[in-house]
Amino acid sequence: MKKVYVNELKNHIDEEISFSGFVDTIRDKKWVMFVILRDSTGKVQMTIEKSDENNQKLLEIMSTISVESTIKVKCKVVSNEAVKLGGIELIPSEIEVTSLALNLPFDYNNLDGVNLDTRLDYRWLDIRNEKNMLVRQIESTLTEGMREFLYKNNFTEIHSPKLIGTASESGSSVFEVKYFNDKAYLAQSPQFYKQMALAAGLDRVFEVGPVFRAENSNTNRHATEFTGFDLEFSYIDSYEDVMSLEEDLLIAGLTKVKEKYGEKIKEIFGTEVVIPTKPFPRMKLKDLYQEMHDKYGFDIPEHDIGDMNAEAEKLTFKIAQEKFNSEFMFITDYAATKRPFYHMRDENGVLQGYDLIWRGTEITSGAQREHRYEKLVENANEKGLKDDVKFYLQFFKYGCPPHGGFGIGLDRLTMLLLGLTIKETQFIFRGPNRLNP
Ligand code: ATP
């Protein structure tokens, strides 16, 4: 018999079904034993009357097991208004113990005071906590909403290699790995391969996949491996087209999340899912600097001129809220020296790209890409990269549409949506001091 999930039980009233799940709680009363069972969709009560002769064997089995064990039961689904958990109870006729649990190292229902590192060591127990399980389910729904939007808009999903032969984009933050008798590197982004797909004529592509950064930074928003939600599309007129597509994509993802989890997010994470409206506000970097100076007396440090830093991102959120009543802000006109060589510049050298800040943290870098071979070579030379990116430059020699795209850090998106840190957000966190589990 196929397993019925808790959220499907209401469709099986008075039927004999098979139910499998974790034993969440056992309440052993004088006349009756209540067992709360749990699966990823919720909890349900199983009731065993002690006076019934036929139940003696079931009670014996239940007396041998601990909470968090898993069982499989053959049972009848009964409607009973007196039952607090959804007005439904399961009346078992057979119970099979499928896995016996030892005592847990901590109570996942009460994580206050449990060290985050201990939680991460036992991540599979940590995720049994309702809130932590919701993080996974919400991120999945967010991705689903964004994927649906892209499929509807004629994007093709691609999967590019993560083992690459050259440390291409910016040598310093790349992991080097042994590759037989040679060296390989872990991809810092799918950037070059997305563009290769457009040169192949695929028009519009996206990839959701792992991204590796050898950054020894212990912040609440950096990981050494995270999930990139990356896309690239052809025949754009300007990076405005890229920003516009990103607005639609985020609106689609957040709408899907709000429909399914809006209430739960408010109740459990204490935060509202706000669906932004188009267009998101935009500011040029130099105007933003001026505003931050005038309003908050903040001046960007010398070495970050032409770029942002964490504090500037926080202030950008304030400005976005106060000036535009928005949680989002696009920042444009970064210095070309601070950006990758493949971002397009106009005839005055102004960078045709942007960053998107949400709730005080960067979630995306995007741009129109330089697709003109000569210009691209010039930009690569300027950054001293010509030899490293030899293979990449080839894509632009045989016809390549004008195009642009962006990369969103999916973990960052989920983290900001729910008001968490990246360690709490990633399914399995990877940082400078964590390679396990
Ligand atoms: P930051 O300035 O925050 O370090 P970045 O400029 O290096 O980010 P990009 O290379 O533009 O970021 O990467 C695209 C997106 O990937 C970022 O906007 C961000 O959402 C996410 N991202 C970048 N680095 C990390 C990281 N170490 N951990 C998690 N997400 C990241």
Average pLDDT of each block of 10 consecutive residues along the chain (437 residues)?
A: 94 98 97 97 97 96 97 98 96 98 97 97 98 98 98 98 82 87 95 97 98 93 97 98 98 98 98 98 98 97 96 98 98 94 94 98 97 95 86 95 98 98 98 96
Is there a contact between 300 and 288 (Cβ–Cβ < 8 Å)? Answer: no
R_g of the chain computed on alpha carbons: 27
CB atoms within 10 A of CB 101: 14
Fold observed for domain 124-425: BirA Bifunctional Protein; domain 2 (3.30.930)
For 140-168, b/e burial (b = at least 16 CB within 10 A) is: ebbbebbbebbeeeebeebebebebebbb
Which atom number of ligand 1 is nearest to the Cα of residue 217?
A: 27
Q: Which amino acid, one-letter code, is at 277?
A: T
pLDDT tens per residue across span 200-213? 999 999 999 999 99
Which atom number of ligand 1 is nearest to the Cα of residue 356?
A: 18
What pLDDT is stored for residue 359 in this prediction?
98
Pocket test for ligand 1, best of 191, 206, 208, 222 (most atoms within 8 A of CB): 222
The CB-based long-range contact list for 323-329 (8 Å cut-off, 24+ gap) reads 323/281, 323/291, 324/281, 326/276, 326/280, 326/281, 327/274, 327/276, 327/358, 327/359, 328/250, 328/276, 328/280, 328/281, 328/356, 328/357, 328/358, 329/280, 329/281, 329/282, 329/283, 329/356, 329/357
**Region(s) of the chain under CATH 2.40.50.140:** 6-99
For ligand 1, atom 6, name the residue with the nearest CA. 365
Which atom number of ligand 1 is nearest to the Cα of residue 406?
A: 14
Average pLDDT, the chain: 96
210 φ/ψ sector (left φ>0, alpha ψ -120 to 50, else beta) = beta
CATH of domain 6-99: 2.40.50.140
What pLDDT is stored for residue 195 in this prediction?
98
Catalytic residues: 213, 215, 221-222, 362, 365, 412
What pLDDT is stored for residue 1 in this prediction?
77
**Region(s) of the chain under CATH 3.30.930.10:** 124-425
Is there a contact between 282 and 304 (Cβ–Cβ < 8 Å)? Answer: no
pLDDT tens per residue across span 67-113? 999 999 999 999 999 999 999 999 999 999 999 999 999 999 999 99
Ligand 1 centroid distance, CA of 12 (Å): 47
**Ligand 1 in reach of 365 Cβ (< 6 A):** yes
Is there a contact between 212 and 224 (Cβ–Cβ < 8 Å)? Answer: yes
Pocket test for ligand 1, best of 173, 250, 369, 412 (most atoms within 8 A of CB): 412
Q: Of 358, 390, 393, which Cα lies nearest the Cα of 372? A: 393
Pocket test for ligand 1, best of 250, 338, 362 (most atoms within 8 A of CB): 362
What pLDDT is stored for residue 169 in this prediction?
62
Ligand 1 centroid distance, CA of 365 (Å): 8
**Ligand 1 in reach of 363 Cβ (< 6 A):** yes
Q: Of 345, 343, 301, 308, which Cα lies nearest the Cα of 329? A: 308
CB half-sphere exposure, 392, CA atoms < 13 A: 27
**Ligand 1 in reach of 411 Cβ (< 6 A):** yes
What is the rounded CA–CA span in Å between residue 297 and residue 168? 39
Q: Of 48, 375, 427, which Cα lies nearest the Cα of 226? A: 427
Which atom number of ligand 1 is nearest to the Cα of residue 215?
A: 27
CB atoms within 10 A of CB 395: 20
